[in-house]
Amino acid sequence: MTSFKGPRRAVLQLPELALQWVFIQEPRWREKELVLSRSDHPGARVLALNEAARRRRIRVHQTLAQARALAPELITYPWPEAQLILCQERVAQWLSERVPSLALFTDEPGVFVLDISGLEAVVGPLKAWAQALLVSLQEEEGLWGRIVLGYDPMPARVLCPQACPVLILRDPEMEQAQLAEQPLSALGLNARLQGQLAPLGLRSIGDFLALGAQALGRRFGAEAEGLHRCLTAQARPQLKLWSPVESPSVSRDLEPAVTRQDQLLFAVKRELYGLLSPLAERGRAVAHLRLNLDLDSSFVADSEQHQQWMIRPAEASLDETLFLDLLRLSFVRDPLRAPAVSLSLEVEPAPAQAEQLTLFRATRRDINKAREAITRLRTELGAEAVCQAKASPGHLPEAQQGFAPLEALKLPEVPPLTENPPLVRRLLEPPEPMDPPPQRGRAWLPLGPAQGAVKALVGPYLASGGWWAKEQRRRYFFARLERGELLWIFQDVREGNWFLQGWVQ
């Protein structure tokens, strides 16, 4: 087997991509003082600025009021978040035609990691290939960039400013040596970590790496340790592997069967956002939507057990309300023929407009509006009426949660995925009594014939509590039914009675 030596990864950086996009739209602004910010409010912060504004001593994180005091003719432009999504997606599509695979840095727009393993045998010298790639990118997309041909994504990313416009590293040792020579500021550390490291007098990345990952983690936390490991190739930075946008779909059983069209619309609504959101993240909208239903065979002939609706708006859209309204009108023309036992939704993606992406993001959760609503409820009903669920250190399930007054509202933080994520359970309060297992040879129907018999039983898992009052000892089981439901049940060891604690979602 032939082994190709040399760089394995290329990091392409499109510096200040947001500014590049603005100048493509407004070329006359290149020589004028320009800043980008989230809003035009005087207190809004500067997020990016061009060289003309930098010469007027304007800096990132200044307020617009401070910037305008330094440059009265300053041009302010809203941060083009939706346009950046579209621009990145277009560039990724362009790159995918030239390299085997690529990924994107999740926290920095305009930085792409290209897999170039073995590419030299196909395209010739990599430096000439990279130079030609940059020329083509500027000619076809109007964007300029720089490339580091190296070995690990994070070190190559840090070295991107040294590329003029291409930097090729002979081996991993050269990559690490050049990385160590860079000033610490090249890491772009956040203000908190900068403040923590300042007393140590670190000047270069080499000084930072000399401290060791575990030592940094003990003193400065997981962020510093993770950065150290990424720079020394002991870990990978957060990358999002790019792949072509496919037509997403979702299917689910309807239990109980849906008999009314308003119920069907509600079922569709529950699934629709899960299809629209990933498309919006990739700069796509929905060109058409197809709803397929499986109908109850007890009510229709075999040849009529499927019913379908096709929704095709005038232009590709991300408007959930529009699709539901069109679907409602379709039901008037072609009503539901029989109870539906399952549904599937299929959508066909198409390029989205920037305005559609902006509106889609704006219609999602607004934390400030939620706080205003909670304040009104608290004022009208009292502080104790607005509560949130809290975990408690109890032994039995019903003692492991409770409700406490809601002090401050914030969006939930999603913990990182683990190999064994916890099961999501829906609990009954109090647990409901249920029939015990029958004698051998007979089916156990804990929820009645409609849900089917128990097909598998996993357990027991022992739990006890309440020893300071009236001790309870339980034997917990997971019971899977014929219809697919997973029950969480237990037997009271003392009395022998069986109870339904809840379901696993």
What CATH number has the domain bearing residue 313?
3.30.1490.100
Domain contains 24: no
Give the CATH number of the domain where residue 93 resides. 3.30.70.270
Average pLDDT of the residues of the chain = 86
Domain contains 349: yes
pLDDT band at 127 (very low <50, low <70, confident <90, very high): very high
pLDDT given at position 486: 86
**pLDDT tens-digit readout, 261-270:** 888 888 898 8
Do residues 355 and 371 both lie within one domain?
no
CA distance 485 to 125: 59
Residue/partner pairs of 425-429 with CB below 8 Å, 24 or more apart: 425/397, 425/488, 425/501, 425/502, 425/503, 425/504, 425/505, 426/502, 426/503, 426/504, 426/505, 427/397, 427/398, 427/401, 427/488, 427/501, 427/502, 428/500, 428/501, 428/502, 429/398
Do residues 116 and 223 both lie within one domain?
yes
**pLDDT tens-digit readout, 190-205:** 878 888 888 888 889 9
pLDDT given at position 460: 86
Across the range 310-321, mean pLDDT stands at: 88
Do residues 96 and 227 both lie within one domain?
yes
In the chain, count H helices and then E strands.
16, 20
pLDDT given at position 404: 79
End-of-domain residue from the set 328, 346, 362: 362
pLDDT given at position 424: 67
pLDDT at residue 214 above 70?
A: yes
pLDDT at residue 303 above 80?
A: yes
End-of-domain residue from the set 328, 345, 362: 362
Do residues 340 and 280 both lie within one domain?
yes
Domain contains 39: no
pLDDT band at 501 (very low <50, low <70, confident <90, very high): confident
Per DSSP (E only), the strands in 369-497 are 387-391, 401-405, 425-434, 454-465, 472-481, 486-492
Higher pLDDT, 363 or 462: 462
**pLDDT tens-digit readout, 438-491:** 877 788 888 777 778 888 888 888 888 766 666 788 889 988 887 778 888 898
Domain contains 298: yes
**pLDDT tens-digit readout, 45-77:** 999 999 999 999 999 999 999 999 999 999 999
In single-letter form, the type of residue at position 255 comes to E
Do residues 342 and 270 both lie within one domain?
yes
pLDDT at residue 245 above 50?
A: yes
- Cα distances (angstroms) measured from residue 359 to each of 291, 305, 318, 353: 25, 38, 9, 10
Do residues 398 and 458 both lie within one domain?
no
Report the share of the chain in percent with pLDDT over 90.
35
Domain contains 22: no
Domain contains 375: yes
Do residues 90 and 194 both lie within one domain?
yes
**pLDDT tens-digit readout, 390-446:** 777 767 777 777 777 877 777 666 555 455 556 667 788 788 888 888 877 788 888
pLDDT given at position 362: 64
Say if CB 172 and CB 120 are below 8 A apart: no
Q: Is 425 helix (H, G, I), strand (E, B) or coil?
A: strand
End-of-domain residue from the set 344, 362, 380: 362
Domain contains 101: yes
Complete edge-to-edge strand list for the sheet that includes strand 425-434: 425-434, 498-504, 486-492, 472-481, 454-465
CA distance 431 to 474: 12
In the chain, the number of structural domains is 4
pLDDT band at 3 (very low <50, low <70, confident <90, very high): very low
Do residues 93 and 181 both lie within one domain?
yes
Q: Give the domain extent around 388.
A: 367-405
Domain contains 40: no
Do residues 341 and 376 both lie within one domain?
no
Do residues 334 and 454 both lie within one domain?
no
Paired sense of beta strands 340-351 and 249-258, if any? antiparallel
- Cα distances (angstroms) measured from residue 148 to each of 33, 116, 178, 477: 30, 11, 12, 56
Do residues 107 and 221 both lie within one domain?
yes
pLDDT given at position 447: 79
- Among 154-168, 295-309, 329-343, 429-443, which is the least confidently predicted range? 429-443
Do residues 281 and 169 both lie within one domain?
no
pLDDT band at 2 (very low <50, low <70, confident <90, very high): very low
